[in-house]
Structure 1
Amino acid sequence: MKIKKYLAESIREAMMMMIKRELGDNAVILSSRRIKKGGFFGIGGKTYFEITAAVEEKEEEKKVENASTYRLQEILIKNRRSLDDNIKDEFDEIKRTISEIKQILVKEKSQTLPEGLSKISYGMEKQEIIPEIRYKIVEFLKMKYGDLDPGSKEAFKILSEQFSNIIRTKVPDFENVKVLFVGTTGVGKTTTLAKLAARFKIEEKKRVAILTLDTYRIAAAEQLKTYAEIMDIPMKIAYTPKEAEYEMMALKDYDVLLIDTAGRSHQNDLQMSEVKALAEAVKPNITFLVVAMNYKLDDMKKILEKFSVVRPTHLILTKMDETSVYGTFVNISEITDIPIAFVTNGQRVPDDIFEANSVELARIVTSEVLSCAGSGGTSQEK
């Protein structure tokens, strides 16, 4: 219904001159009232009729109006999405700002610390332990002990306990399992798989088989084939998820089936979809996400986020021998609930790999932190 108001000297004039011309013959008067306009303080004004008229809209007009309404809704939705994106960007910026403020606050707090704790805080900073953890540990030590000598056995014991409480480790049970290895390019998945294959075959006397889905690099398959032949382990190659299902059926009677995949970029959504499809075809009991310890923390966070599509059950940290920073053991346990299962510290097969143990990893971190604390001065000097 279309409604409009008119002002005329008479209802007849309104009907004839205005309403019918604009609304047509089907228009009806809904209401009318007399009003005065002009004059001075109500004197000498002229009387008019204010008339409210209406008419049912034509079908074509309704369609136009509906189309306009639909278009308006589209514009509103588009603007809302744009607004949501802007809000997300602003929220991310706020989070970054808060993180920076936290780091500043941690540095300011450290300036009021006793000398020993200040050196320990400096050592943790040099080992790139994130500010939140540094602050919590130092505040706890200050409250409970007042100060600690970084060179003392007591400091080593106490700090190790603190790190051990943070680090998450767990070695899975390898009985009648399919084990999938995933990760970015160059982290050492194939070599790590070979190390574990040798361990299961030689040390634990398990019946082991290997399936590789890494058909992107010929060298990778050849390398794995060489390892398999040396250890007298059967190896199969699958080029598609369907082939993988077929080959797994042929290897189903083995105690442990180790499944290699090509390195995929966490920044490539298509490649992440491929990894997800492979994982869904394989249906592993254990999924190892292999991460290099020489990655930056921000990169590790993104890798953990993107590879969550395959639901990794455990982490394997590689390239410990290629870094002098061991805060990763602590940091990664702070940013994810996925436990560390193994750590590799060289290229030798099968030697350079060990089971992750929170106590031992904490001792490694503590040793480096206190070494930095003893040689690098205090955080006030930075």
Structure 2
Amino acid sequence: MKVKRYIVNALPEALPIIRSELGIDAVILNTKEIRVGGFLGMFGKKKMEVIAAIESNANAVPAVRKPTSAPKPAVSPAALSHFAAMVSSAASVSAEAAAPESGRLLEDAVPLKAHAVQPVISNRSGMENELINEIRDMKQWIQKMSKQQQLKTWPEPVQELYERLIDQEIELKWVDKLMAEVEERIQFLQGSQPDKRFVWQSARSVLNEWLKDFEGERIGEQTRVVHFVGPTGVGKTTSIAKLAAEQTLKAGRKVGFITSDTYRIAAVDQLRTYANILDVPLEVVFSPSEVTRAYKQLEDRELIFMDTAGRNFRHELSVSEVNSLLQSHDRSETYLVLSLTGRYRDMSAVAEHFVKYGIQSVLFTKQDETNAYGSILNLVMDYGLKPAYIAYGQTVPDDIMPFQTDSYVEKVLGAAGDE
């Protein structure tokens, strides 16, 4: 397979060049906006990178040449875009993988097996899947190598910031966006090298700007019912006990408990133990039809905390089952409880299902068991979820606090910028 890279101002400029150089059977593998030129890898001009390919044993046929045999159907821009989108979904090619000169051929550092590439994809055959996997591997390799080269061009404090963000497990797309905004602030230095303090202060400013509208609120004084949902083992019951103790001992409110977590016998016993310690009533429900009865039993309570069963919420059916227990109430709130020790991929799958039901607030647990906090930022940026509380231990009621943007940003960036 012959693969070529083009740098143009806009995609339409690339199409005639590709047809002329590679022929009418060429396909576009990927398009991406990049920056070229600039100073120390920064302040470059925006261009469009286009990756095109042609089967190596196919003869390049210029678009103006008339075929002497039965012609193959011309590849329309729509078909090219369709295939490009399909391949792009597998992985994205890094912008800095090769020199920015237009038309430079990518070196065959990662070999590709020769397979015919069809311009219009109906059903993916085994051959097509194999080709897509090969392209994905090539892109990942190019992305890794190009990122290493790009890091070398950055000033040392900027490199340290990038490595810190990656270490915090922030998604690469948000790391790149943050670095771009930090670079824009550095340009005001007019060519002088930025020091670590300036770089960290710039990053703090950007993160605070991103998060300022997503800081969740504490349990409101007018709230009557608070629901807690989330996967098994994330600490829902302990978090309920902490907040209930806060509301009982500090706010002086009359609190009641409802639990539907009857899948685990220990879960009911655990909440019953907290209820006895705090001297608050507990109602156990086994189906949505019993929730109304539980509310009636607790009608003298000013605030009701409802625990739900931990399930595999990566599946929407489990989410819908739990949602049926969250009966409508004018003064209710629902917190999605997630552990900071979990993988972001799993947290994202859970969040994606719950946001469909209007859940907007998150309570994060086990902050004391990890040093990586990027998943909070990822959930805010990907789903618009609002962090409300952070829990960081087992002590009731002390080890929980409202989420504060300034404190969170300091944990993400660390103290390196103050050295």
Partner of 1:161: 205
8 Å contact kept, 1:286–1:313: no
Q: Distance in 1 between matches of 2:350 and 2:279?
A: 34
8 Å contact kept, 1:245–1:281: no
Offset of 1:96 from its aligned partner? 3.6
Question: Aligned to 1:134, which of 175, 200, 215?
Answer: 175
In the alignment, does 2:325 pair up with 1:278? yes
Question: Aligned to 1:144, which of 156, 180, 185?
Answer: 185
Partner of 2:5: none
- Unpaired segments of 5 or more residues in structure 2? 1-80, 95-138, 188-192
Offset of 1:88 from its aligned partner? 11
Q: Distance in 2 between matches of 1:88 and 1:200?
A: 56
Q: Per the alignment, in what secondary structure is the counterpart of residue 341 of structure 1?
A: strand
Q: Per the alignment, in what secondary structure is the counterpart of residue 169 of structure 1?
A: coil
**Percent of pairs with identical residues:** 28
Aligned-pair Cα RMSD in Å: 2.9
8 Å contact kept, 2:185–2:202: no
Matches within 5 A, 1:291-310: 291-310=338-357
Q: Which moved more, 1:110-119 or 1:210-219?
A: 110-119
Instruction: Specify whether residues 327 and 99 from structure 1 end up closer, same or farther in structure 2 by C-alpha distance, changes over 3 A only.
Output: farther
Which residue type is aligned with residue 169 of structure 1? E
Q: Distance in 2 between matches of 1:89 and 1:260?
A: 47
Instruction: Specify whether residues 136 and 275 from structure 1 end up closer, same or farther in structure 2 by C-alpha distance, changes over 3 A only.
Output: same
Partner of 2:359: 312
Q: Distance in 1 between matches of 2:233 and 2:348?
A: 18
Offset of 1:108 from its aligned partner? 4.7
Instruction: Specify whether residues 269 and 124 from structure 1 end up closer, same or farther in structure 2 by C-alpha distance, changes over 3 A only.
Output: closer
Q: Per the alignment, in what secondary structure is the counterpart of residue 236 of structure 1?
A: strand
Q: Per the alignment, in what secondary structure is the counterpart of residue 247 of structure 1?
A: helix
Offset of 1:110 from its aligned partner? 2.9
Instruction: Specify whether residues 204 and 132 from structure 1 end up closer, same or farther in structure 2 by C-alpha distance, changes over 3 A only.
Output: same
Q: Distance in 2 between matches of 1:360 and 1:316?
A: 16
In the alignment, does 2:284 pair up with 1:240? no
TM-score (norm 1): 0.67
Q: Per the alignment, in what secondary structure is the counterpart of residue 271 of structure 2?
A: helix
8 Å contact kept, 1:211–1:238: yes
Matches within 5 A, 1:216-255: 216-255=263-302
Offset of 1:365 from its aligned partner? 1.0
Question: Aligned to 1:290, which of 315, 321, 337?
Answer: 337
Q: Distance in 2 between matches of 1:277 and 1:90?
A: 41
Structure in which a larger fraction of residues adopt helix: 1
Partner of 1:97: 91
Instruction: Specify whether residues 284 and 89 from structure 1 end up closer, same or farther in structure 2 by C-alpha distance, changes over 3 A only.
Output: farther
Instruction: Specify whether residues 117 and 156 from structure 1 end up closer, same or farther in structure 2 by C-alpha distance, changes over 3 A only.
Output: closer
TM-score (norm 2): 0.62
Partner of 2:155: 114
Q: Per the alignment, in what secondary structure is the counterpart of residue 279 of structure 1?
A: coil
Q: Distance in 1 between matches of 2:232 and 2:342?
A: 12
Question: Aligned to 2:238, which of 191, 200, 222?
Answer: 191
Question: Aligned to 1:265, which of 312, 315, 319?
Answer: 312
Which residue type is aligned with residue 91 of structure 2? T
Matches within 5 A, 1:3-152: 94-98=88-92, 104=144, 107-145=148-186, 147-150=193-196, 152=197
Q: Distance in 1 between matches of 2:330 and 2:396?
A: 27
Q: Which moved more, 1:89-98 or 1:310-319?
A: 89-98
Offset of 1:284 from its aligned partner? 6.9
8 Å contact kept, 2:340–2:365: yes
Partner of 1:4: none
Which residue type is aligned with residue 149 of structure 1? D
Partner of 1:170: 216
Partner of 1:202: 249
Which residue type is aligned with residue 226 of structure 2? V
8 Å contact kept, 2:355–2:383: no
8 Å contact kept, 2:364–2:389: yes
Offset of 1:276 from its aligned partner? 2.2
Q: Deviations over 1:264-321 (max 9, x none)?
A: 1023444223112212477872110001111222212111112234421310011111
- Unpaired segments of 5 or more residues in structure 1? 1-86, 375-382
Q: Deviations over 1:56-86 (max 9, x none)?
A: xxxxxxxxxxxxxxxxxxxxxxxxxxxxxxx
Instruction: Specify whether residues 313 and 140 from structure 1 end up closer, same or farther in structure 2 by C-alpha distance, changes over 3 A only.
Output: closer
Instruction: Specify whether residues 309 and 116 from structure 1 end up closer, same or farther in structure 2 by C-alpha distance, changes over 3 A only.
Output: closer
In the alignment, does 2:337 pair up with 1:343? no
Instruction: Specify whether residues 342 and 111 from structure 1 end up closer, same or farther in structure 2 by C-alpha distance, changes over 3 A only.
Output: same
Q: Distance in 1 between matches of 2:252 and 2:387?
A: 24
Q: Distance in 1 between matches of 2:257 and 2:284?
A: 9
Q: Distance in 2 between matches of 1:318 and 1:260?
A: 15
Q: Which has the larger radius of gyration?
A: 1
8 Å contact kept, 2:161–2:199: no
Q: Distance in 1 between matches of 2:237 and 2:312?
A: 16
Tell me: higher relative CO, structure 1 or 2? Use CA pairs within 8 A at least 6 residues apart. 1
